[in-house]
Amino acid sequence: MKVHDSKAAPNPRRVRIFVAEKGLDVPFEEVDIVNAVNRQAEFRQKNPMGTVPVLELDDGTCIAESAAICRYFEEIQPELPLLGVDATDRAVVAMWDRRMEFELLLPIADSFRQHHAFFKGRIEQCPEYAEVAKRRAVQNLAWLDEVLADRQFVAGERFSVADITALCAVDFGRVSKIGIAPEQKNLARWHEAVSARPSAKA
């Protein structure tokens, strides 16, 4: 197997951190997204959406979508669970992971792609929406700071995929000048803790 990867995009990092946390030995192969190799016909046979990451299994099955790829790795390596430990916990972790995706990663990504030159001609952009998304992202960081007041990690007292999604979102905020505000002490404490894990270098 191998993962079609890009060091330049936020979503593939979710998979790299997940794999590092699991201690799995999976080859990653860089796709030249700057030159839009991911949008060419050959890559679209692996993923018609033209996005990275894509996990290609030895039988040729291609699995796109970071969350789907992480789910596969959780199944083949259940130890050190990152998607929860029982039925209720798995639902709670899934809820928090989705909140980090929809309330944080999505507006932070839209702040960038809805106006930045990189996406010109790749998607139909809406610069007005980039501004709306940025305000939403800033508001939601303040909300997440409150959430983290009484818990160590996003989904509770255990590190999970929701922390990985949130970390990749917050760090990708830099390109749109979205970041942790000085008064957001809980968010800063959490960010320092998850960034200090060896997996964060992935």
Catalog residues that contact a copy of itself under the rule CB under 8 A.
Answer: 48-49, 55, 57, 61, 63-65, 67-69, 71-72, 75-76, 87-88, 90-92, 94-95, 98-99, 103, 114, 124-126, 128-129, 132, 135-136, 143, 147
Nearer to a copy of itself, 26 or 197 (CB): 26
Measured distance between the N- and C-terminal CA atoms of the chain, rounded to whole angstroms: 18
Find the shortest distance in angstroms from Cβ 156 to a copy of itself. 11
Cα 26 from chain centre: 18
Find the shortest distance in angstroms from Cβ 195 to a copy of itself. 25
Find the shortest distance in angstroms from Cβ 198 to a copy of itself. 26
- What is the maximum alpha-carbon separation in the chain? 51
Nearer to a copy of itself, 96 or 200 (CB): 96
Contacts of 19 (CB under 8 A, 6+ apart): 3, 26, 73, 202
Find the shortest distance in angstroms from Cβ 177 to a copy of itself. 19
Query: Does residue 53 have a cis peptide bond before it, meaning omega lies within 30 degrees of 0?
Result: yes
How do beta strands 2-5 and 28-30 pair? parallel
Find the shortest distance in angstroms from Cβ 128 to a copy of itself. 5
Quick one: DSSP state of residue 12?
H
Cα 93 from chain centre: 15
Nearer to a copy of itself, 29 or 128 (CB): 128
Nearer to a copy of itself, 92 or 193 (CB): 92
